[in-house]
Amino acid sequence: MTPRFDAIGLVVSDMAASVAFYRRLGLAFPEGSEKEEHAEARLPGGLRLLFDTEESVRSFMPDFEPPSGGGRASLALLCGSPAEVDAVYGEMVAAGHHGELKPWDAVWGQRYAILHDPDGNGVDLFAPLPSPQ
């Protein structure tokens, strides 16, 4: 048997805040997930995004301490257009979330921006720029 990539797991300090953040970005966490120690959302293509609280992880790894000095991981979300990158970034910042890098036209041909989730993980928003005519 060959292992297959199935899920992305993040350890979160505040399940309710994390679920609310990612729901606002369009991920479908089941009702009540914000009150659980483990939550998951199906992603396009069948992958899953898994959240476990720090307390849950400590139940089987008693010495667990979250990494210090910045984000723990980075996720990238493809937007439908460069304008959507701007709109989503603006909506999330207006809702009180940390905007790390304002939208800009990157040299590699994408409209690109970075948010931070409640635990400091990077959430990259991107969309291809129109091809030069």
pLDDT, tens only, 92-102:
999 999 999 99
Q: What is the mean pLDDT of residues 64-75?
A: 76
Instruction: Give 131 or 32, the one with higher predicted confidence.
Output: 32
Each residue of 111-121: pLDDT tens digit?
999 999 999 88
Instruction: Give 132 or 56, the one with higher predicted confidence.
Output: 56
Q: What pTM, to 2 d.p., does this model score?
A: 0.84
Q: What is the mean pLDDT of residues 9-28?
A: 96
Alpha helical stretches, state H, 1-133: 15-24, 54-58, 82-94
Residue 1: the pLDDT is 77
Relative to beta strand 74-78, strand 122-128 is parallel
Assess whether pLDDT exceeds 90 at residue 13.
yes
Assess whether pLDDT exceeds 60 at residue 71.
no
Q: How far apart are CA 39 and CA 50, in angstroms?
A: 6
Which residue type sits at 121? N
Assess whether pLDDT exceeds 90 at residue 82.
yes
Residue 65: the pLDDT is 86
